[in-house]
Structure 1
Amino acid sequence: MTERISALVEQRPLGDTGVTVSPIIAGAAGWRRREDGSGSSRQESLELAAAMAGDGVVTTIDTANNYGYGDSERRIAQVLAQLGDEAGRLRVQTKADREPGTDDFSAPQMRRSLEQSMERLGVDHLPMVYLHDPENTTWELAMADDGPVAALVAAREEGLIGALGISGGPAELLARFVGTGHFQSVITHNRFTLVDRSADALLTLAAEAGLGVLNAAPYGGGLLTSWPVRTTRYAYGTAPEAMLRAVDRIGRVCDEAGVPLAAAALQWSLRDPRITGTIVGMERLEDYTRTLDLAAVPIDDSLWTAIEAVELDVSTWQDTPRG
């Protein structure tokens, strides 16, 4: 294990949750995708989890009630059971979801979501739960007495869950939830990358408030995994031309420095002191080893300076700044 990777072994406290996370977190959305049958096989998931448990570098698994319509959580439980005692080195965090097909975010649905997750994972307590994708309801419904926030706060008070976080898309909306004081951690995705800084203010707000801060999708869903680019996908759509030009400029300066674009994309998140952990989608052992390899690439300050000098078109960001 290299010195750079050894520095990532130390677990970090996730705000005041009482939970610790690894600086790199394995995103398990693709461990099983029931709707099309894709994703990793059970054996591939086992090999990945065994490597994580053995190395002690990536020890946190991120999932959600609706990932694979529940099959992600089921696969995690199966794999951890196969690992036996070694599974004790791994921790799972999940998310409470709306009802598929109806966007029901009611209090009863939140309770059902928690109960389903506990049943699938084979536990009677969830240490870390996030309210997932609240942009799919209204602020008024989310904060109502019979809404999802109240239901999850009550579940925390009951001891059904240990700590509560907020996870979603629009950074300004997440900041509004952070401001309620109900949440102890926040997950943002696709909004703090080499080419999109939508979540910059959110990261500062959450960190200064003492929350745990998790940054997901540092590769923007695929665009930042290689240069020249192999895909124009960013987040859930196609990257606009101005963003592609920025990626090309950043890719060129990285190539001149002998650094893979993906290494810079990953370490852009890992190096930020506001970020507690970075969630990277991993389905197979090869994803894990590649992630560690990219995290170990030495990057000089001069390259970061050159990357920061590349002008970005804010209109291409997921959340275009106002004014």
Structure 2
Amino acid sequence: MRGRLDDRPLGSTGLTLSSVTLGGGPLGSMPEVFGYEVDEEQAVELVGAVLRSDIRAIDTANGYSAGRSEQRIGAALSRFGLPDDTVVITKVDADGRDYSGDRVRASLRESIERLGIGAPLPLVHLHDPEFHDFAELTAPGGAVDALVEARERGLVSHLGLAGGRVQEMRRYLELGVFEVLLVHNRWTLVDRSAGDLIDEALARGMGVVNAAVYGGGILAAPPGAVTDYGYRPAPEAVLAAIDEMRRACARWATDLRTAALRFSTRDPRLASTVVGLSKPERVEPAIAAASADLPDELWRELEELVPPRSSWLDFRDDPLAPSKET
């Protein structure tokens, strides 16, 4: 136990993560995604605040803000130092449509230089492969082979798979080369698309990390401020469930934002939950929410309000999706 956050093993990797991981997406400033700017000094100070907190893991990606997220994390690590028990995680990214083996090798070189932590990188994910051709990425000499080679050469200690649509992620999981699964927007209060995928990963001995537990902001925003879930318009069933869940939280003297984060951190199957932050003063409130003691009665009410499977991200418009809640 580290203060208010658990230390949890990451599958069979031998790595240990705090139950909350700092999400590096906002650090590079992506106003087109998050709706606000983050300047470099603010980002560096935020990482410094995290390094002084109970949070002992940082998640970023080569492609976040064209590399600025990694650069700013690297600047913070240079200024404040990297504690021995803190894990820095990154992801290889395509360059436009190029997700070749050569691109993966270039991505790794860029990440090592920006972060300034040297090789081996503790954990590197194959990022968002669902937007590219499976046959191309898994061909001999392709992106997956390049990552495996990097692990064999000692540039990377462990390989992960980070993406969205579960039907596509399962194809990569079945390759048997990844040690960690990161899912986003698909294991939350109102969307359980990744349930079976998480179970499969755990059966394989993999560690599981959960991200985007606010569904792109709707579960953390004031009522009516956001109507998208997972970066697309939310179905009426999801909007109605969110409204009812918000009222249930109020009855139990908490708020939906806290419940949305605690839903993930209270799940013992999940090694860590990635939370995007943009200001140093938000670190402690996030830790408090992640460790909040909420009553069992609230969780029972929230489970009864989960919208039907047909409204979840990866089962919308699916004729095989059952109409009843599952």
Structure 1 residue 204 displacement after superposition: 1.0
CA–CA distance in 2 between the matches of 1:124 and 1:213? 23
Partner residue in 2 for 1:64: 61
Question: 1:46-125 alignment to 2 at 5 Å?
Answer: 46-55=44-53, 57-84=54-81, 87-99=83-95, 101=96, 103-122=97-116, 123-125=118-120
- Check the 8 A contact 1:217/1:279 in 2, yes or no: yes
Partner residue in 1 for 2:142: 147
Partner of residue 9 from structure 2, selected from 6, 9, 13: 13
Q: Does 1:164 align with 2:162?
A: no
CA–CA distance in 2 between the matches of 1:34 and 1:264? 26
Structure 1 residue 227 displacement after superposition: 5.2
- Check the 8 A contact 1:93/1:127 in 2, yes or no: yes
Structure 1 residue 148 displacement after superposition: 0.8
- Tell me, which stretches of 5 or more residues in structure 2 are unaligned? 322-326
Scaled by the length of structure 1, the TM-score of the pair is 0.91
Once the two structures are superposed, what CA deviation does each residue of 1:67-126 show, in whole Å capped at 9, x if it has no partner?
A: 010111000110111113x64453210001111x3x111111110111111111122321
- Tell me, which stretches of 5 or more residues in structure 1 are unaligned? none
Partner of residue 276 from structure 2, selected from 260, 274, 281: 281
Which of 137-146 and 106-115 deviates more?
Answer: 137-146
Partner residue in 1 for 2:287: 292
- Check the 8 A contact 1:226/1:260 in 2, yes or no: no
Structure 1 residue 283 displacement after superposition: 1.5
CA–CA distance in 2 between the matches of 1:95 and 1:28? 11
2:258 alignment partner, SS class: helix
Partner residue in 2 for 1:133: 128
Q: Letter of the 2:28 partner, please give it.
A: R
Question: 1:109-258 alignment to 2 at 5 Å?
Answer: 109-122=103-116, 123-226=118-221, 228-258=223-253
Q: Letter of the 1:104 partner, please give it.
A: D
- Check the 8 A contact 2:22/2:50 in 1, yes or no: no
1:81 alignment partner, SS class: helix
- Check the 8 A contact 1:34/1:71 in 2, yes or no: no
- Check the 8 A contact 1:81/1:87 in 2, yes or no: no
CA–CA distance in 1 between the matches of 2:80 and 2:40? 12
User: Percent of counterpart pairs with the same letter?
Assistant: 40
CA–CA distance in 1 between the matches of 2:247 and 2:280? 29
- Check the 8 A contact 1:35/1:68 in 2, yes or no: no
